[in-house]
Amino acid sequence: MRPSGLLPLSAAMLALGASPTLLAAQADTPVTMPSGSYVVQARDTAKASQIGVIGWPFVLKGNGSFTLTSPDSLSFMGKLVQKDGVAIFTDQTCADTGIYVVRRVRDGYAFDVRSEACQGRDSSWVQLLFVPGKPKKNP
Protein backbone atom coordinates (compact mmCIF):
# COMPACT_ATOMS: atom_id res chain seq x y z
CA MET A 1 0.00 0.00 0.00
CA ARG A 2 1.34 3.42 -0.91
CA PRO A 3 1.49 6.40 1.50
CA SER A 4 -1.61 8.54 1.84
CA GLY A 5 -0.41 11.07 -0.72
CA LEU A 6 -0.84 14.13 1.47
CA LEU A 7 1.73 16.13 -0.48
CA PRO A 8 -0.07 15.73 -3.83
CA LEU A 9 -3.40 16.37 -2.13
CA SER A 10 -2.09 19.56 -0.55
CA ALA A 11 -0.71 20.76 -3.85
CA ALA A 12 -4.00 20.03 -5.59
CA MET A 13 -5.98 21.85 -2.89
CA LEU A 14 -3.70 24.87 -3.23
CA ALA A 15 -4.21 24.83 -6.98
CA LEU A 16 -7.96 24.75 -6.44
CA GLY A 17 -7.77 27.73 -4.09
CA ALA A 18 -7.10 29.97 -7.06
CA SER A 19 -10.45 29.21 -8.68
CA PRO A 20 -13.08 27.80 -6.27
CA THR A 21 -15.68 30.26 -7.59
CA LEU A 22 -15.27 28.94 -11.12
CA LEU A 23 -15.63 25.34 -9.96
CA ALA A 24 -18.61 26.14 -7.75
CA ALA A 25 -20.34 27.94 -10.60
CA GLN A 26 -20.01 24.85 -12.80
CA ALA A 27 -21.80 22.57 -10.33
CA ASP A 28 -25.50 22.61 -9.57
CA THR A 29 -25.14 22.85 -5.81
CA PRO A 30 -21.81 21.67 -4.42
CA VAL A 31 -21.95 20.16 -0.94
CA THR A 32 -19.68 18.33 1.47
CA MET A 33 -20.29 14.63 1.98
CA PRO A 34 -20.27 14.18 5.76
CA SER A 35 -18.26 11.48 7.47
CA GLY A 36 -20.20 8.34 8.27
CA SER A 37 -21.36 4.99 6.91
CA TYR A 38 -22.74 4.67 3.39
CA VAL A 39 -23.99 1.98 1.05
CA VAL A 40 -22.84 2.12 -2.56
CA GLN A 41 -25.64 2.26 -5.12
CA ALA A 42 -25.76 3.08 -8.81
CA ARG A 43 -26.13 6.73 -9.67
CA ASP A 44 -28.11 5.66 -12.74
CA THR A 45 -30.42 2.87 -11.57
CA ALA A 46 -30.77 1.57 -15.15
CA LYS A 47 -27.04 0.71 -15.08
CA ALA A 48 -26.95 -0.95 -11.66
CA SER A 49 -26.17 -4.38 -13.11
CA GLN A 50 -22.95 -2.97 -14.64
CA ILE A 51 -21.51 -1.86 -11.28
CA GLY A 52 -19.76 -4.53 -9.26
CA VAL A 53 -19.71 -2.71 -5.91
CA ILE A 54 -23.46 -2.23 -5.42
CA GLY A 55 -24.43 -2.75 -1.78
CA TRP A 56 -20.85 -2.55 -0.49
CA PRO A 57 -20.23 -0.51 2.66
CA PHE A 58 -18.27 2.71 2.30
CA VAL A 59 -17.06 4.37 5.51
CA LEU A 60 -15.79 7.96 5.39
CA LYS A 61 -13.93 9.17 8.47
CA GLY A 62 -13.67 12.78 9.64
CA ASN A 63 -10.06 13.02 8.44
CA GLY A 64 -11.11 12.09 4.90
CA SER A 65 -9.79 8.54 4.91
CA PHE A 66 -12.23 5.93 3.67
CA THR A 67 -12.65 2.21 3.29
CA LEU A 68 -14.76 0.33 0.77
CA THR A 69 -15.29 -3.29 1.84
CA SER A 70 -16.20 -6.24 -0.38
CA PRO A 71 -18.59 -9.01 0.74
CA ASP A 72 -15.58 -11.24 1.49
CA SER A 73 -14.11 -8.51 3.74
CA LEU A 74 -11.42 -7.22 1.39
CA SER A 75 -10.95 -3.50 2.06
CA PHE A 76 -9.90 -0.80 -0.37
CA MET A 77 -8.63 2.42 1.16
CA GLY A 78 -8.16 5.98 0.06
CA LYS A 79 -8.50 9.63 0.95
CA LEU A 80 -11.29 12.07 0.09
CA VAL A 81 -10.38 15.64 1.04
CA GLN A 82 -13.27 18.09 0.62
CA LYS A 83 -13.55 21.86 0.69
CA ASP A 84 -16.40 24.06 -0.57
CA GLY A 85 -18.01 21.20 -2.51
CA VAL A 86 -14.78 20.19 -4.24
CA ALA A 87 -13.30 16.78 -3.45
CA ILE A 88 -9.74 15.59 -4.05
CA PHE A 89 -9.64 11.80 -4.30
CA THR A 90 -6.79 9.29 -4.12
CA ASP A 91 -6.83 5.57 -3.43
CA GLN A 92 -4.38 2.73 -3.02
CA THR A 93 -4.51 1.84 -6.72
CA CYS A 94 -3.43 5.23 -8.10
CA ALA A 95 -1.11 7.95 -6.81
CA ASP A 96 -2.64 10.66 -9.02
CA THR A 97 -5.37 12.86 -7.58
CA GLY A 98 -8.81 13.14 -9.11
CA ILE A 99 -10.75 16.37 -8.60
CA TYR A 100 -14.53 16.23 -8.31
CA VAL A 101 -17.53 18.34 -7.40
CA VAL A 102 -19.73 16.69 -4.77
CA ARG A 103 -23.49 16.87 -5.28
CA ARG A 104 -26.63 15.62 -3.56
CA VAL A 105 -28.39 13.19 -5.87
CA ARG A 106 -31.69 11.73 -4.70
CA ASP A 107 -30.94 10.51 -1.16
CA GLY A 108 -27.15 10.26 -1.46
CA TYR A 109 -23.95 11.87 -2.72
CA ALA A 110 -22.42 11.69 -6.17
CA PHE A 111 -19.29 13.08 -7.81
CA ASP A 112 -18.77 14.92 -11.10
CA VAL A 113 -15.25 14.83 -12.59
CA ARG A 114 -13.47 18.16 -12.87
CA SER A 115 -9.97 16.81 -13.46
CA GLU A 116 -9.34 13.22 -14.47
CA ALA A 117 -6.66 11.27 -12.64
CA CYS A 118 -6.13 7.60 -13.43
CA GLN A 119 -7.59 6.16 -16.59
CA GLY A 120 -10.66 4.05 -15.87
CA ARG A 121 -11.02 5.01 -12.23
CA ASP A 122 -12.80 8.31 -12.82
CA SER A 123 -15.36 6.85 -15.19
CA SER A 124 -16.33 4.19 -12.64
CA TRP A 125 -16.23 6.54 -9.61
CA VAL A 126 -18.84 8.90 -11.10
CA GLN A 127 -21.27 6.00 -11.64
CA LEU A 128 -21.60 5.53 -7.89
CA LEU A 129 -24.11 6.98 -5.45
CA PHE A 130 -23.19 6.95 -1.75
CA VAL A 131 -26.34 6.62 0.34
CA PRO A 132 -26.14 7.10 4.12
CA GLY A 133 -26.70 3.91 6.09
CA LYS A 134 -25.33 0.44 6.57
CA PRO A 135 -25.84 -2.51 4.22
CA LYS A 136 -28.64 -4.89 5.07
CA LYS A 137 -27.55 -8.33 6.26
CA ASN A 138 -28.47 -11.27 4.02
CA PRO A 139 -30.98 -13.62 5.68
**pLDDT computed for residue 57 by the predictor:** 96
- Residue 139 belongs to some domain of the structure: no
Give me the tens of pLDDT residue by residue for the chain, a chain 139 residues long: 333 333 343 333 333 443 444 343 444 567 999 999 999 999 998 888 888 899 999 999 999 999 999 998 899 898 999 998 899 888 877 778 888 899 999 899 999 888 877 766 656 778 899 999 988 765 4
Structurally, the chain folds into a number of domains equal to: 1
**Count of Cβ atoms closer than 10 Å to residue 14 Cβ:** 9
How are the residues of the chain apportioned to helix, strand and coil, as percentages rounded to the nearest 5?
Answer: 20, 40, 35
- Residue 138 belongs to some domain of the structure: no
- Residue 1 belongs to some domain of the structure: no
The 3-state DSSP class for residue 130 equals strand
**pLDDT computed for residue 10 by the predictor:** 35
- Residue 49 belongs to some domain of the structure: yes
| Alpha-carbon span 58 to 63, nearest angstrom | 15
- Residue 60 belongs to some domain of the structure: yes
pTM beyond 0.75, yes or no: no
| Alpha-carbon span 117 to 98, nearest angstrom | 5
Q: Is the CB of residue 39 less than 8 Å from the CB of residue 56?
A: yes
CATH of the domain at 29: 2.40.128
Nearest to 84 by CA among 98, 101, 96, 72: 101
Domain interval for residue 64: 6-132
Q: Express each pLDDT in 54-84 by its tens digit.
A: 999 999 999 999 999 999 889 989 899 999 8
